[in-house]
Amino acid sequence: MKRFFYSIMVIGFLFVVAGCDSSSSKTDDDLINDADIGDTGNTGNTGDTGDTGNTGNTGDTGNTGNTGDTGNTGDTGNTGDTGNTGNTGDTGTDTDEMDDADTGDTVADIDEMDDTDTDIDEIDDTDTGDTVATTLIFTEYVEGTGFNKAIEIYNGTGASVDMSAYSIKQANAGKTSPGKIWGESADFVLDLTGSLADGDTYVICNKDYALDVTVCDLVDDSTSVMSFNGNDGLALFNGTTIVDQIGVELSDPAINWAIAGVDEATKDHTLVRKATVINGSTDWAASAGTTDENSEWIVSAKDDVTSLGSR
């Protein structure tokens, strides 16, 4: 009986054990199945990794393209010193320094040029002195047929001249007492009057002048001055000072003077003063000259008055 009961207990125990194993196996299977299903669903959350795409905003760094403004350094194109433009920002400073240096040199050079200009002004002043006469002068002499006799006076002083201070005096070759001097008597002195503008001529003619009388500003019928011959000297006076002359006084024997290598040029010729002559001369020999080149006068044919009244 005891064995039977013991056997029953053993068999029951086995059944219990078997049932526990079966239950445990099923529980494991369910757990495995549940775990498999749950775990798999959670894997989908890994899609959050896509947020990393926001890093695309890094593209904003493209704004650094603004550094293109450094293109202004192109101004350094002045004289090749642009090699420094590799340092973009520093280049502007270098350029300014270069410009300042260049400007300084330029100003200095200009100042030096101005000094040169001053020298030029001084030269011009010198030239002006040479091109402006100090007094009236003789510029044409006509000793032609019969009484075709005339004298031209020119004002190259740069200003109007009061002619009342001037006179023309003749040294007449025919006079012997006191003898062939300027204005020996009142008859051989012609006092001038009026005003002569700068650049104008004043023509005085013999009272019997038979050529173009329209050029005559004065027809002298009050003295013998304009009745000169080739051997009579004529002088232009400013007050008591002789400022120009044709021939000389006290000529003995009386002669017709040679001019520019032309014998007796003061007789039956027209004499025209070269335009390069500005001032009068009291050195008749130098004024008359001995050649075309060194004479102040051009010797023209008798009765040639084509230039009379103009200078």
What is the 3-state secondary structure of the chain?
CHHHHHHHHHHHHHHHHHHHHHHHHHHHHHHHHHHHHHHHHHHHHHHHHHHHHHHHHHHHHHHHHHHHHHHHHHHHHHHHHHHHHHHHHHHHHHHHHHHHHHHHHHHHHHHHHHHHHHHHHHHHHHHHHHHCCCCCEEEEEEECCCCCEEEEEECCCCCCEEHHHEEEEEECCCCCCCCCCCCCCHHHEEECCCEECCCCEEEEEECCCCCCHHHCCEEECCCCHHHCCCCCEEEEEECCEEEEEECCCCCCCCCCCCECCECCCCCCEEEEECCCCCCCCCCHHHHHCCCCCCCCEEEECCCCCCCCCCC
pLDDT at 85: 37
Checking if the pLDDT of 132 tops 50, the result is yes
| 174 or 93: which leads in pLDDT | 174
Does 7 have pLDDT greater than 60?
no
189-200: per-residue pLDDT in tens?
A: 999 999 999 999
Q: What is d(CA 257, CA 192) in angstroms, rounded to the nearest whole number? A: 26
- Assigned token pair, 248: 């000389």
Q: How confident is the model at residue 14 (pLDDT cuts 50, 70, 90)?
A: low
Average pLDDT over the chain reads 73
Top pLDDT among 122 and 189 is at 189
Q: Which two tokens stand for residue 73?
A: 């350094």
Q: How confident is the model at residue 223 (pLDDT cuts 50, 70, 90)?
A: very high
Q: Model's pTM, two decimal places?
A: 0.60
Q: Is the pLDDT of residue 294 over 80?
A: yes
Round to whole Å and give the CA distance between 86 and 285: 81
pLDDT score at 160: 98
Q: What confidence score (pLDDT) does residue 186 get?
A: 92
Mean pLDDT of all residues in 237-258 = 92
Q: What average pLDDT does the segment 83-111 reach? A: 38
Report the alpha-carbon distance of residue 99 to residue 79 in Å, rounded. Answer: 11
pLDDT above 70: percentage of residues in the chain: 57
Which pLDDT value is given to residue 194? 98
pLDDT of residue 180: 82
pLDDT at 216: 98
Query: What does the pLDDT read at residue 12?
Result: 54
Reported as a pLDDT band with limits 50, 70 and 90, residue 99 is very low
Residue 24 pLDDT: 39
More confident residue, 215 or 9: 215
64 has pLDDT over 80: no
Highest averaged pLDDT of the listed ranges 21-25, 32-36, 58-62, 153-157: 153-157
Q: What are the b/e assignments for 19-56, b being 16+ CB within 10 Å?
A: eeeeeeeeeeeeeeeeeeeeeeeeeeeeeeeeeeeeee
pLDDT, residue 251, reads 79
Please compute the mean of the pLDDT values over residues 105-118 and round it to a whole number. 38
